[in-house]
Structure 1
Amino acid sequence: MASIDLNSDLGENVPDRIVSDDESMLAIVTSANVSCGFHAGSPEGIRRTLAAAVANGVTIGAHPGYRDYENFGRTKVDIDSATLQAHVEYQLGALAGLTRAVGGAVAYVKPHGALYNTIARDERQAKDVVAAIRAIDPSLVLLGLAGGVVLDVAERAGLAVAAEAFADRAYLPDGQLVSRTEAGSVLHDANAVAERMLRLAESGVIRAIDGTDVHVEAQSICVHGDSEGSVAMAAETRRLLEASGVTIAPFAGA
């Protein structure tokens, strides 16, 4: 793999819930998935993160989720199609406006948390999210879980897509992520995470939680901004990949 993107979920801080060091991450990553406000963040905080992304030359993506602020968007919501589509459209429109206000543009969409995981398997909700993206801006790239249903749905609908792998999350043998409720689902060792991602870049495989190898074809690597040790994991992953001849570059351009 000659080139791969490095992304992180940012713009999720509020004064009483600081979950990430956006400033440090924006000096490392090439793409920022910025909260649209439903699961985390505030308009003023999101705007600051967007402005910092523009200043750092980081590609901006919208990070919409379920309307689930209390649970940080990590609880699946049983929601009808019309409501889900409207909620995603609302979030994309809001983030696009704030991004324009700071001199940037949104290049892609990466759904958040439980919505992200649901549309990797649930074709109905995947179609709702894709319909929302097409309604707001069909030039936006959809970033989703490698092997996920939503990538096929989006491609059939005419959207450009990119597949994602997770540096700091454990995998099941079928390529899905281990639930955060399970022990060992979130990784924290910077050196081990970086070695995992180098193996992905070189061989297209990630070791699953049961010790088997999962084949993953991805154009982007995510280190969650709210993971313990996230900055160290992102920095070491970038250092090791670049030292091994892999170019770190955004998968989408605004």
Structure 2
Amino acid sequence: MTMIDLNSDLGESFGPWPMGDDDAMLALVTSANIACGFHAGDPAGILRSLRSAAERGVIVGAHIGYRDLVGFGRRNMEPSDAELFADSIYQIGALQGLAKAAGTRVAYVKPHGALYNTMAHDARQAAAVIAAIKALDPALPLMALSNAPVVAQARAQGITVICETFADRAYMADGSLVSRSRPDAVIHDPKEIAGRMLRLLREGLITAVDGTDIRLEAQSICVHGDTPAAVAIARRLRADLTEAGIKLASFIR
């Protein structure tokens, strides 16, 4: 590959409680998944992040999640179809309003945390979110876990899918992410992370925790904004990819 998008989850601070360094990350990424207030973020903080993204020319996506501020959206939940459908529209719509005020627009949708991982394999919850996107704006792409069943499910409904891989997360042999309950779920070393992503872009392969190689489709790479080394990881990854002749650019043309 000669071009790749680099994204991060931002806008997650809440009132006086900071989460990550949005300004530093926005100087490094090409797309930003902005929290919509359900798993993290308050309206004033979200608006600041949107304005910062607009100033830097970084595209933004609606980072929708379960209604779970206390659990940061990382607890498994079973909302009804009607609830998840309406909650998804509510979050995307709220971000669309804030984005317009910030001089930008919502260019895609990326579910967060437990919703993202559940949707990857749970056709019912995936269908509710896909239906919400179609009802609001069927032209909005869905960012989803590479190789997961949700990719084919969304494409079958006419939704453009951006296949995503994770720079700082470990993978199981089936292509799913290692559970955050395990100590080896998150990778912290910037050098190791950059090496993994370079191999992925050159060979299409990444090594799972059991040592097997798995093949992944990738249009975007995620670096989580809430980890302590997030900025260092994104900076090293951007530098190493650029040195290797890989251009970082948004998937929105």
TM-score tier by shorter-chain length is: over 0.9
The one-character-per-residue Cα deviations of 1:90-124 (angstroms, maximum 9, x if unpaired) are: 00000001000111011100000000000000001
Alignment of structure 1 residues 102-251 onto 2, 5 Å: 102-251=102-251
Structure 1 residue 231 displacement after superposition: 0.4
Structure 1 residue 15 displacement after superposition: 3.6
Asked if structure 2 preserves the Cα contact closer than 8 Å seen for 1:11 and 1:41, the reply is yes
Structure 1 residue 153 displacement after superposition: 1.4
What amino acid does structure 1 have at the position aligned with 2:6? L
The one-character-per-residue Cα deviations of 1:169-223 (angstroms, maximum 9, x if unpaired) are: 0000000000000111011101110111101111111111111111111100000
What amino acid does structure 2 have at the position aligned with 1:163? C
Q: Name the structure 1 match of 2:33.
A: 33
The one-character-per-residue Cα deviations of 1:126-160 (angstroms, maximum 9, x if unpaired) are: 00000011111111110000011221111111111
- Report the 3-state secondary structure (helix = DSSP H, G, I; strand = E; otherwise coil) of the residue aligned with 1:62: strand
Structure 1: distance between partners of 2:228 and 2:207: 21
Q: TM (normalized to structure 1)?
A: 0.98
Structure 1: distance between partners of 2:252 and 2:134: 17
Structure 1: unaligned runs, 5 residues or longer: none
Asked if structure 1 preserves the Cα contact closer than 8 Å seen for 2:15 and 2:45, the reply is no
Percent identity, aligned pairs only?
53
Structure 1 residue 16 displacement after superposition: 4.2
Asked if structure 2 preserves the Cα contact closer than 8 Å seen for 1:126 and 1:149, the reply is no
RMSD: 0.8
Structure 1: distance between partners of 2:47 and 2:15: 14
Q: Name the structure 1 match of 2:48.
A: 48
Asked if structure 1 preserves the Cα contact closer than 8 Å seen for 2:22 and 2:49, the reply is yes
Structure 2: unaligned runs, 5 residues or longer: none
Structure 2: distance between partners of 1:15 and 1:195: 37
Asked if structure 1 preserves the Cα contact closer than 8 Å seen for 2:75 and 2:114, the reply is yes
Asked if structure 2 preserves the Cα contact closer than 8 Å seen for 1:8 and 1:32, the reply is yes
